[in-house]
Amino acid sequence: MRITNTQQSGDIPRRCQSEHFGALVTQTSRLIRRAMDARVSAEVTPELTGVRGMLLGEIIRANREDRDIYQRDVEQWLQIRRSSVTAMLQTMEQDGFITRCSVEKDARLKRLNATPKGVAFHERIHATIERFERDLQQGIAPEQQAAARAVLEQVLTNAQELTIAAAKLPPAEQPAPKG
């Protein structure tokens, strides 16, 4: 059976149904995250997602370099809200991959450390993510990869600037109730 632009394979559309560039980026991002999560779950452990695996790798690198890493660093790196990072770190801590330790100079700060379990899983996660990245870029010429990266970096910069500009705008007025 041939799949057209409007048909779906499973529940995954073959093409973005919107003409908007942002919709294509969003759909691509979500699908990549779902595929990576499935790969990490199948090949390493269902306790970690791809993003948590990448975060664990960053925590391990920071620990090996004797560099402190805190929740706010994760918020900035992943560009997600504090509550989302808190939930992610709590789950990773409950599952035994990391610990959060208070810092002497400021008890509100919690330094992130990988546990022996986290370190043990790191190499498997890293290898899985590397294979996933290779598979994701399969059939794309190096020049196309470089061009795509440059475009996505500029889109990221534009989105960051739009976010900053939007935060400076006054809130929209609510329409008067009808009736």
CATH code for position 98: 1.10.10.10
In a domain, 38, yes or no: yes
| 8 A C-beta contact, residue 132 and residue 35 | yes
140 conformational bin, left if phi > 0, alpha if psi -120 to 50, beta if neither: beta
- What confidence tens digit (pLDDT) does each residue in 115-174 have? 999 999 998 988 998 999 999 999 999 999 999 999 999 999 999 999 899 889 888 887
Domain count, the chain: 1
Q: Is residue 153 part of a domain?
A: no
Lowest mean pLDDT among 9-23, 80-94, 165-179: 9-23
CA distance 27 to 17: 10
CA 26 – CA 32 distance, rounded (Å): 10
**What is the 3-state secondary structure of 163-178?**
HHHHHCCCCCCCCCCC
Task: Tell me which of 47 and 13 has the higher pLDDT.
Answer: 47
In a domain, 146, yes or no: no
User: Residue 3 falls within a domain, yes or no?
Assistant: no
Q: Of 33, 68, 67, give the one whose Cα is nearest residue 50.
A: 33
Asked if the structure places residue 157 within a domain, the reply is no
Taking the alpha carbons at both ends of the chain, their separation in whole angstroms is 54
Domain that holds residue 61: 20-136
Residues 67, 70: Cα–Cα separation, whole Å: 10
- Would 104 be classed as within a structural domain? yes
